[in-house]
C-alpha cells in the first residue's frame, strides 16, 4: 500500500523507544520529509496508538500548552524522563536515529 507523508512520520514516531524523545524537525527529516516539521503535528493528531508524547520541540522544549501539555509531562515522567521547567535534556533523553 502507498505510504503517504503522514504514514512515514508516524512510522518514525513509533520507533522512538520508551524513555526517549525526538523533535518535530528530526521526525520530519528521519522520515524523508526534511523541513516539514509542521506536518508532523498533523500526523500526530490523525495517528492513533502512537507515542505522541515522545515528540517535543527543538532543544527539547515542550510545545504543547494547557491540559495536553500537562498530560505529556505526566506521560514522559512516568517513563523516567526528567523535565526541568519546560525542557528536556536531549543529550540524555534525545533519541539518535541510526
Note the residues at the interface with DNA (CB under 7 A). 5-6, 23-26, 35-42, 44-45, 52, 55, 57-59, 61, 63-65, 68, 87
CB of 45 to DNA, least distance (A): 6
Asked if 52 and 13 count as a contact pair (C-beta separation under 8 A), the reply is: yes
Asked if 81 and 88 count as a contact pair (C-beta separation under 8 A), the reply is: yes
Residue closer to DNA, measured from CB, 59 or 80: 59
The rounded distance, in Å, linking the Cα atoms of 6 and 33 is 10
Residue closer to DNA, measured from CB, 17 or 48: 48
The rounded distance, in Å, linking the Cα atoms of 10 and 22 is 12
What angle separates helix 37-46 from helix 5-14, to the nearest 10 degrees? 80
DSSP assigned state of 96: P
CB of 77 to DNA, least distance (A): 16
CB of 26 to DNA, least distance (A): 7
Residue closer to DNA, measured from CB, 17 or 34: 34
Residue closer to DNA, measured from CB, 17 or 59: 59
Amino acid at each position: 500500500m502507498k505510504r503517504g507523508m503522514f504514514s512515514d512520520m508516524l512510522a518514525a514516531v513509533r520507533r522512538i523507544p520508551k524513555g526517549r524523545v525526538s523533535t518535530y524537525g528530526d521526525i520530519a527529516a528521519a522520515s524523508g520529509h526534511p523541513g516539514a516539521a509542521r506536518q508532523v503535528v498533523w500526523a500526530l493528531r490523525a495517528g492513533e496508538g502512537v507515542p505522541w508524547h515522545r515528540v517535543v520541540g527543538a532543544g527539547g522544549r515542550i510545545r504543547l500548552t494547557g491540559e495536553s501539555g500537562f498530560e505529556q509531562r505526566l506521560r514522559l515522567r512516568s517513563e523516567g524522563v526528567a523535565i526541568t521547567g519546560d525542557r528536556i535534556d536531549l543529550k540524555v533523553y534525545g533519541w539518535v536515529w541510526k
